[in-house]
Structure 1
Amino acid sequence: MHESLTSPSWRVALPHTTAAVPVARALVRTALAERRHAADSDTAELLTAELVANAVEHTSGNTPIELVVELLPTGCQVEVHDGDPAPPGDLTRPTLDPPDPWQEHGRGLLLIRALSSSCGHRLTGTGKAVWFRLSAVPRQRRPA
């Protein structure tokens, strides 16, 4: 049996509201479980929630945001598309000062940088896509 040259992927429009966060988490969990994928589902859900929450909080308007999940042989990649071309803070550059522990915000991009194998953003025809990639977890290290 030959596998297709393209990786399985899901592309879903989500509302530009905080209600999109749990929906996005569930979609990522389902995509990884459905394919019995080797990427860590808990980490993928957490980082997806951060990307979606950032897109909702830091972009204006009510244009839907879009979640793209791609399962790769070496892991998975998750992208969140929004209509604002402005880059997402210091996603790929470490900040000099740690976030204030008393502030509610400011840790999302830090988490994405720390827990993903790579992350970044790119311009799209309608705004930007912010993404992260997780490497597959070796079988012997996965919980039973």
Structure 2
Amino acid sequence: MNGPALQERPASSASWRIALPHSAAAVPVARALVRTALAELEHGADSDTAELLTAELVANAVEHTAGESPIELVVELLPTGCQVEVHDPDPAPPGNLTRPDGQAPDPWQEHGRGLLLIRALSSSCGHRPTESGKAVWFRLPVVPPQWNPA
């Protein structure tokens, strides 16, 4: 009689850091990097959610920062989950990321839901100053493996 097949999770951390162009082209590249990082290590964080939230962070960095300085994506995989950071050259904090403003997004506007998604779908999120601007980040936990009877 066989028990459930459980995949081993990474016992140590792994990280990736990549410079992205300060343009909309950075969004699909960032999504692909996160997808690849989570798939290659068979990491247990929710890849779809990680891709969505990464796309939101990168799109915000492109849209709300001036200049042509590259944006940097940092993906860190830990035994307990993953953390994704997006570094940009603007030191100003990202609007209402950690403190909602109490207003619902306008249903007729295309924008205004990214930070709400990040707050709602991540286990934690925030921002911090860096030497060249700021880093905005989110964390996702490892999703426990599901029992799959053979």
TM-score range, shorter chain: over 0.9
**Uncovered stretches (5+) of structure 2, i.e. residues with no partner:** 1-9
**Mapped pair 1:55 → 2:65:** no
Superposed CA offset, 1:46-104 (max 9, x none): 00000000000000000000000000111000000000000000100122111001001
Higher gyration radius (CA) = 2
Deviation at 1:141, TM superposition (A): 7.6
Q: TM-score, normalised on structure 2?
A: 0.89
**Mapped pair 1:103 → 2:103:** no
RMSD: 1.6
How far apart are the structure 2 equivalents of 1:31 and 1:5? 15
**Mapped pair 1:36 → 2:42:** yes
Deviation at 1:6, TM superposition (A): 5.8
How far apart are the structure 2 equivalents of 1:97 and 1:85? 25
Choose the corresponding residue for 2:143, options 134, 137, 142: 137
**Uncovered stretches (5+) of structure 1, i.e. residues with no partner:** none
How far apart are the structure 1 equivalents of 2:60 and 2:12? 29
Deviation at 1:5, TM superposition (A): 8.6
**Mapped pair 1:11 → 2:17:** yes
Q: State the AA in 2 paired with 1:58.
A: H
Q: TM-score, normalised on structure 1?
A: 0.93
Q: Which residue of 2 aligns with 1:21?
A: 27
Q: Percent identity?
A: 81
Q: State the AA in 1 paired with 2:140.
A: L
Deviation at 1:140, TM superposition (A): 1.0
Structure 1 runs, 4 residues or longer, greater than 3 Å off: none
How far apart are the structure 1 equivalents of 2:108 and 2:140? 29
- Contact 2:93–2:127 at 8 Å: present in 1 too? yes
Q: Which residue of 1 aligns with 2:6?
A: none
User: Which structure would you say has the larger RCO, counting Cα contacts within 8 Å and 6 or more residues apart?
Assistant: 2
**Mapped pair 1:93 → 2:93:** no
Q: Which residue of 2 aligns with 1:67?
A: 73
DSSP-derived class of the 1:140 partner: coil
Q: Which residue of 1 aligns with 2:131?
A: 125
